[in-house]
Amino acid sequence: MSEYTPARGQRDPMDPYDAVLVASFGGPRSREEVMPFLRRVSNGRVPDSRLADVAEHYYRFDGVSPINEANEALLEALRQELRSRGSDIPVELGNRNSAPWFNEVVSSLYDQGARRILMLPTAAFDSYSGCRQYREDADKAVAALGHPDLVIDKIAPFHGIEGYAVANAQAVMASFSQIPPTPLEATRVAFVTHSIPLPMVEASGSGEPGTDYVSQHLAACTRIAELVRQHFGAMPQWDLVYCSRSGRPTDPWLEPDVNDYLETLPGQGVSSVVLAPIGFVSDHMEVVNDLDHEAAETAQKLGLAVARAATPDSHPALVAGLVALLTDQADAVREADGAVPKDLLCPCEQDGSARGGRSLSPDTHPGAGHPAGPAHPIAGSAGTPASPVTGHGATAASSSSPQPPAEAAEPVVPAAPIVPASQPTPAPAEPAAPAIPVSQPTPAPHQTGDFAVAQQDTEDQTRTAPIAGSHRPDGTYTVPTDARDQPVDPDQVNKASLWGMYSVFKVTTGLPADPGARAELVDGSVEWVTRAGAETRGWYDLSGLRADADLLVWWTSDDAAVLQDSYHRFVGTGLGRHLTPVWSNLAVHRPAEFNKSHLPSCFAGVAPRRWACFYPFVRTKDWYLLDAKDRSAMLREHGMAGAASPDVKASTLAAFALGDYEWILTLEGDDLARLVDVMKDMRYVEARRHVDIDTPFYTGERVDPDTWAGRQLTD
């Protein structure tokens, strides 16, 4: 069915597979579906009287589980990504506990000609209900349909792919803006996953040390924390905690419960916490109820500021990683003449058949009677006995626990703000307690010069999931944490037309040699220009960095006419008569194309830095005619290249029709060498091929007018 793609006349990269089946848990779509859904999930083991309590969680949302919409979005994203790689293979969804039913979808695909299907469960981690049970679902479906020529292969759990870590790391970073600026030592990141019975933990993984359910999560937490630290220079202490316990109260499950964990934080001096549901690919009812409501209420009772990070959903990095898994498996199967290489098999398939409907016996799965995927805890107890399994009791595994690799166990509460190891540490403006970095990822930047993390294509995908009782500003505006900076309202900035003028001059006649006369000349000139009403962001000494220029003055205003008046006043002053204009441009802030909350630093509350680099920018003519997806991909790469440079602040203003350029860019930093590093790093990205003009450069130190004048030639 998928061997050839007629429209392209070439082999489909998914050959020998005829379809991709996304297998998921499912969820109700209406109030009427809630109780039948819960009865199916509990498999008759729980009376309706207890299920009715769980049903109330769904009724709060009119019976609609968020998993359905999330799965539909993921399905479409996978289809688009596969098409972009040259595959027209069908991608369908089959649920275990709700429509579209798994068996019915398999039957439909078979009727359409599919004989070999690749199954992708929407569970990233290896446990019975998140891995083995999907294998059994597939085997039972093949057996029930009675088609000996039907084969369903399975993608192994994907918790280790980089796209999963990137998506979760960006969600954590975005959520920092949802809590007040907080000292690093007073902040925690709680990585949350689904609790499962301890026998199920022991049966998870390959049986080798370090492969079980908890170890998988600790490895994922470590990588996510590492990405956050790389991009922002700091990462609060993190802990691995659990939610959604169900089953008999006497049965040991993974602990601590997220609510019990929150109770311990105030006594540790913690005032802010980020809840990051890394164990969930998308919002389930567990996430919405257990975190957005129950955990939020606990935090509010304790006086903790709390934000809930978004789940990966259809994040582009995750989607790209999943499609790479699909196509890589297809490649490997082709090379192996149709066999699935052993290194691609799940642990649950290593010793049993993965083909033809023969199922691994449920008897080989300890804890199989305790599925870990019910839509909600049906019974639970705060008094669950401590786990007999070392490391899985009521103490959270964390960045300071012995279980993670050595890197994760290093102290993360610094005595001074941390910067990436590859960068020099700037001298702080004031001796203040380190605050948690609350910058967060933005979608692909509007144009070059945007040095935030950039992995997402649309503004909607950058959202931080809402949480009860918390304020959520629109978009992902970066709240400043440097003592020199002040927060602004991004909506108000975007509603205004905010202008910048960059005027370069050369000293052509010597200034007064007498210091008093020179100061009088400069001060009088500055005072006269100030009357126009513009803000002067800085005077920059260009001498020596260029032979044809000595001064750049950067003015800003909400009125272009005010800037023009400032220029007229300046050239007409006593000081201006000693200068010759070299270069001058006007530009204006316009809301960014992909992320309306991304602001130029000069209007985002960021104070001027010691050094600044100014330059114009023009794209090649074909850039604006490229497919939006291609532009977005290149800009994401560009943004990631600059993501390790949070110490460099960028301001990009539009200059279309105002002169000869499309954009005017400014980079500001306390270390001149860092401006050099960033500009060099930006050369190694694909978007560089679409640059037409990016000179001249005017770079200089920001100084006060009298200091600048004292450095110049005198008569």
Summarize pLDDT for 116-175 with one digit per residue, the tens.
999 999 999 998 888 889 999 999 999 999 999 999 999 999 999 999 999 999 999 999
Query: pLDDT at residue 324 above 50?
Result: yes
Backbone phi and psi for residue 662, each to the nearest 5 degrees, phi listed first: -95, -35
Architecture category of domain 490-710 in CATH: 2-Layer Sandwich (3.30)
- Cα–Cα distance between 517 and 229 in angstroms, integer? 52
624 is annotated as contributing to ligand binding: no
Give the separation between CA 55 and CA 313, rounded to whole angstroms.
24
pLDDT for the residue numbered 182 = 84
Compute φ and ψ for 366, nearest 5 degrees: -55, 135
pLDDT band at residue 378 under the 50/70/90 scheme:
very low
Q: Is the pLDDT of residue 409 over 60?
A: no
For the chain, what is the total number of helices (H) and then of strands (E)?
18, 22
Q: Average pLDDT in the 664-674 region?
A: 95
Query: Average pLDDT of 493-504?
Result: 95
Predicted confidence band at 210 (pLDDT cuts at 50, 70, 90)? confident
Among 54-68, 269-283, 457-471, the range scoring the smallest mean pLDDT is: 457-471
**Which residues lie below 8 Å from residue 531, measured CB to CB, with a gap of 6+?**
569
532-541 pLDDT, tens digit each: 999 999 999 9
On whether 361 is known to bind a ligand per the annotation, the reply is no
Confidence band for 348, pLDDT divided at 50, 70 and 90: low
pLDDT for the residue numbered 402:
38
Mean pLDDT of the chain: 81
CATH class of 162-311+375-409: alpha beta
Which range is least confidently modeled, 311-325, 332-346, 374-388, 607-621? 374-388
pLDDT per residue as tens digits for the range 176-197: 988 988 888 899 999 999 999 9
- Please compute the mean of the pLDDT values over residues 498-519 and round it to a whole number: 96
State the pLDDT at residue 594.
56
Closest to 445 in 3D by CA, of 600, 329, 295: 600
Q: Is 677 helix (H, G, I), strand (E, B) or coil?
A: helix
Q: Which residues contact 669 (CB under 8 A, 6 or more apart)?
A: 426, 609, 610, 611, 647, 648, 649, 675, 678
pLDDT of amino acid 489: 84
Res 663: pLDDT: 96
* Top-tier CATH class for 4-159+316-362: alpha beta
Which percentage of the chain shows pLDDT scores above 70?
A: 78
pLDDT digits (tens, 9 = 90+) for 307-320: 999 999 999 999 99
State the average pLDDT over residues 73-87: 95
pLDDT at 72: 96
Residue 448 has phi, psi (to 5 degrees) of -60, 150
pLDDT at 314: 94
Domain extents in the chain: 4-159+316-362, 162-311+375-409, 490-710
- Given phi > 0 = left and psi -120 to 50 = alpha, else beta, which region is 110? alpha
Which residues is 536 bridged to in the sheet? 555
Q: C-alpha angle 584/590/592, rounded to 5°?
A: 125
Look at residue 9 in the predicted model and tell me its pLDDT. 41
- Could you tell me which residue, 401 or 650, shows the higher pLDDT? 650
Segment 320-332 mean pLDDT: 96
Tens of pLDDT, residue by residue over 113-132, are 999 999 999 999 998 888 88
- Residues 8 and 239: their CA atoms lie apart, in Å, by 50
Pick 344 or 503 by higher pLDDT.
503
**How many Å apart are CA 576 and CA 579, to the nearest integer?**
5
- Proportion of the chain above pLDDT 90, given as a percent: 61
E strand segments, 573-703: 579-588, 611-619, 649-654, 663-669, 691-693, 698-703
User: What's the pLDDT at 350?
Assistant: 62
Tokens of 443: 């979608």
Classify residue 383 as exposed, middle or buried by CB count within 10 Å of its CB (0-12, 13-18, 19+).
exposed
Q: Which of 287-296, 454-463, 637-646, 687-696 has the lowest mean pLDDT?
A: 454-463
Going by C-beta distance under 8 Å and a sequence separation of 6 or more, which residues neighbour residue 142?
Answer: 106, 150, 151, 152, 356, 357
423 falls in which pLDDT band (50, 70, 90)? very low
Note the pLDDT of residue 596.
Answer: 63
Same-fold call for 4-159+316-362 versus 162-311+375-409 = yes
The pLDDT value given to residue 393: 45
Which residues touch 658 (CB under 8 Å, ≥6 apart)?
585, 586, 587, 588
- pLDDT tens for each residue of 692-711: 999 999 999 999 999 999 99
How high is the pLDDT of residue 318?
96
Query: Do you know the residue count of the chain?
Result: 715
Which amino acid, one-letter code, is at 160? G
> pLDDT tens digit string along 241-255?
999 887 777 889 999
- The rounded distance, in Å, linking the Cα atoms of 579 and 202 is 78
Task: Select from 253, 131, 112 the least CA-distant residue to 194.
Answer: 253
Supply the pLDDT for residue 351.
53
Question: What would the DSSP string read from start to end of 341-353?
Answer: PGGGS-GGGTTS-
Catalytic residue among 164, 540, 615, 698: 615
Whether 128 has a binding-site annotation, put simply, is: no
Residue 497 — φ and ψ, nearest 5°?
-95, 105
Active site residue 615: yes
Q: In the predicted model, is pLDDT for residue 342 greater than 50?
A: yes
Torsion of CA 600, 606, 608, 613, to 10 degrees: -30
* Residue of 405 and 395 predicted with greater confidence: 395
Q: Would you state the pLDDT for residue 664?
A: 97
For strands 442-443 and 454-456, give the pairing: parallel
Q: What is the mean pLDDT of residues 406-414?
A: 27
Which string of DSSP letters, residue by residue, matches 397-465? Answer: EETTSSSS-GGGGS----SS----TTSPPPPPSS----B------EES-SSTT--S-EEESSGGGGPPP
Q: Which residues pair with 624 in a beta bridge?
A: none
Closest CA to 174 of 584, 430, 467: 467
Tell me the C-alpha distance between 573 and 576, whole Å: 5
**What pLDDT is attached to residue 455?**
28
> Does the annotation list 134 as a binding residue?
yes
pLDDT for 246 equals 79
* Per-residue pLDDT at 523 exceeds 70: yes
